Structure 1
Amino acid sequence: MTRLSAVAALSPPGPEGWDFSDYPYGLEPLIMPDPKEELLDDERHPDTTRACLLLLAQAEKGFGTTTPAVGREALEQLFWFRWMIGHHISFVLWRLIADALKRLPPDQGEGEADTEALIQYVRAYSGMLLYTGSCTPAIYRAIIRPSMFRLHSTFSGTWAPDFPPVRSLFRGRRVPPVQPARAPELVAQIELCHRIHLGVASKLVESGRSLLQQSVAEKAAQGHRMWEGIFDCYFLTQRAPVGADAVLAQLLRRNKAVVIDLATNGLYPEPLPEEELPTELRDADVLACEQDLAASLFRVSALAAGLAADPAADQALA
């Protein structure tokens, strides 16, 4: 793990102050296993569990703020940070969802923990769609979209290596064998996620189609692993054998940075006039998801650490 530690920060964050990257809104590479490979069978390091517990405790007090993003240049840096880090967290959430789906037993009466985890992971992913899509249409079209085009003229979200194992879930093809009493709750979270995705796409993309909603036919030539490599290269993601502890530590680092950003800048530093906001993003349950974003990140951190989702985290940065 020494070589990997030189590539990306694999230690958990401290409970206070900005300690992600070298400065506020800087970036760190993400190390993830190949989606077809299992996580290394390592033991949870006590420092990682302790860091998670400290973060949950600090959430009740608040993390404070950092340098606010003021002015066009600072906002461009902030939204680039959100685009990259929000995707990093999404990749981890997809992996956590895929692993939880594998663990679900055929008997729907079992699997209480994984049912709860799936619901919370899907909700947190909805929050990440809001977070990555929080930039203004002008900055998205001037900075973010062209950066993908420059890397590849047909750059597509369908190239995301971690998405195929969860595609069926998010497309509502079938409800996984979760506890029957909670299946409607999971379906509601998936439906909310879909509406948020549509709303963000309508807000940012002139054609109204997001990168992950483009034709699945583009994925037909999946022999093109080069596309997956290009996707990972763009999002500063390296594939290597890592264990659950390293993945959790990287998730904690990003979750804490996101929450400090939200405490400093709010979700929408430059809000659109209401009449320009897509109708999908005005729904009451979408607004509730916005309010729940920070707390949701702490719930998934706890669940990924094998802890109960701490109700106290719901008070995070309220």
Structure 2
Amino acid sequence: MKGAVVALALPGAREWDFGDYPYGLEPLTLPVPGNDWLSDGTADTDLVDCYAGLADALRTGGLRTEPAAADDLEKLFWFRWIAGHHISFVIWRLLAGCLARLAEGDRDRWTTTAAAIEYVRAYSAMLIYTASSTQRIYNAVIRPSMYRLHSTFSGTWSADYPAVRSLFRARRAPKGVTVGGDALLREARLSHQIHLGVASKLVVDGRSLLQHLVDNPAAHQPRMWETVFDCYFLTARAPVTGHEVLSQFLRRCKAVVTDLATNGLYPAVADYDDFVPEELRTPDVLACERDLSDVVLRAAGLAVGAVRPAGRNERETEAVN
């Protein structure tokens, strides 16, 4: 039980305290989908104070750990793959909460939409972060690990993804979005663009495992796929509180920004080729990449109520038809 208590606790503000060592991992515990885990008023002073300490440490250069050597790269990129996905899962839940409140007629629609925009940007940042592996390590270590678990492994199997799927299709503004809809859709389209660029960058033929079997689909879609997905990503489902979910979120955000402050997004000891897909060379993507640490930590600040969404852009206040 001690390990579980540690994994649900708030992080310290300075030294590495995630996992048992730098670039180690911890399991993520989430409630089942549909559980309104933020309804218990858990955006308390402990969470706000923790965020403030992390923001100050990042600003003053206090978030550092042991830099990864060339022999550590598989461990580093595996950490990024799992921890970055953990952050994405929590972001999906936070984003789903925003969309649900908007659909129910949230009185402060701009603030909620603005928060959703920032959560989508944070998810885009995590796509960039998890895709920072070299192509060699991705295809030798990460991609085979998914294939070994299931030959058509897919991110769409996540139990937390269906609540936000329609937004990422970016065809029209979600129900209840009457201001800021254009900006929200732009962020969703940028996320899709980054996803395509990541596939072009990392996957030899640019196709997902699921796409490889598109001509021979499974006869049925067993419900166990959600469990397979959680198992792969070290995710458990249990009745945890909002405070515990957000504590885990802060733990991972701290670990990620510490890694970035120490190693950079593209570690100097890694052997990258020169190929960068067109989708990843646009100004918006490069800005997200440049500001990655600030973006992810702001998402944590929004989640715990320590910061408010970015200021309203008057050009985005027109009602969406």
- Asked if Structure 1 and Structure 2 have the same fold, meaning a TM-score greater than 0.5 normalized by the shorter chain, the answer is yes
- What is the CA distance between 1:59 and its match in structure 2? 2.7
Residue 76 of structure 2: aligned partner: 78
* CA–CA distance in structure 1, aligned partners of residues 218 and 90 of structure 2: 21
Query: CA, structure 1 residues 190+23, in 2 after alignment: closer, same or farther (shift >3 Å)?
Result: same
* CA–CA distance in structure 2, aligned partners of residues 307 and 113 of structure 1: 14
SS of the counterpart of 2:7? coil
Structure 2 residues not aligned, in runs of 5+? 311-321
The answer to whether residue 53 in structure 2 is matched with residue 54 in structure 1 is yes
Query: CA, structure 1 residues 213+120, in 2 after alignment: closer, same or farther (shift >3 Å)?
Result: farther
Percent same amino acid among aligned pairs?
Answer: 54
Residue 134 of structure 2: aligned partner: 136
- What is the CA distance between 1:9 and its match in structure 2? 0.7
Residue 292 of structure 1: aligned partner: 291
Deviations 1:205-242 (Å, cap 9, x if unpaired)? 12313468887x979945x2211111101100000112
* CA–CA distance in structure 1, aligned partners of residues 229 and 252 of structure 2: 20
Structure 1 residues not aligned, in runs of 5+? 312-318
Residue 90 of structure 2: aligned partner: 92
SS of the counterpart of 1:104? helix
Query: CA, structure 1 residues 187+28, in 2 after alignment: closer, same or farther (shift >3 Å)?
Result: same
Query: CA, structure 1 residues 178+53, in 2 after alignment: closer, same or farther (shift >3 Å)?
Result: farther
Among 35, 40, 49, which residue is 1:37 paired with?
Answer: 35
Residue 315 of structure 1: aligned partner: none
- TM (normalized to structure 2)? 0.87
Range with greater deviation from structure 2 (14-23 or 46-55): 46-55
Residue 281 of structure 1: aligned partner: 280
- What is the CA distance between 1:182 and its match in structure 2? 1.9
* CA–CA distance in structure 2, aligned partners of residues 43 and 101 of structure 1: 19
Residue 63 of structure 1: aligned partner: 62
* CA–CA distance in structure 2, aligned partners of residues 299 and 135 of structure 1: 24
Query: CA, structure 1 residues 46+191, in 2 after alignment: closer, same or farther (shift >3 Å)?
Result: same
SS of the counterpart of 1:31? strand
* CA–CA distance in structure 1, aligned partners of residues 210 and 101 of structure 2: 26
- What is the CA distance between 1:39 and its match in structure 2? 1.7
Among 116, 119, 125, which residue is 2:117 paired with?
Answer: 119
SS of the counterpart of 1:238? strand
Q: Which amino acid aligns with 1:272?
A: Y
| Count of residue pairs brought into register by the alignment | 305
Residue 305 of structure 1: aligned partner: 304
Checking the alignment, whether the CA contact within 8 Å between 1:197 and 1:210 is kept in structure 2 is no
Checking the alignment, whether the CA contact within 8 Å between 1:32 and 1:237 is kept in structure 2 is yes
Q: Which amino acid aligns with 2:186?
A: A
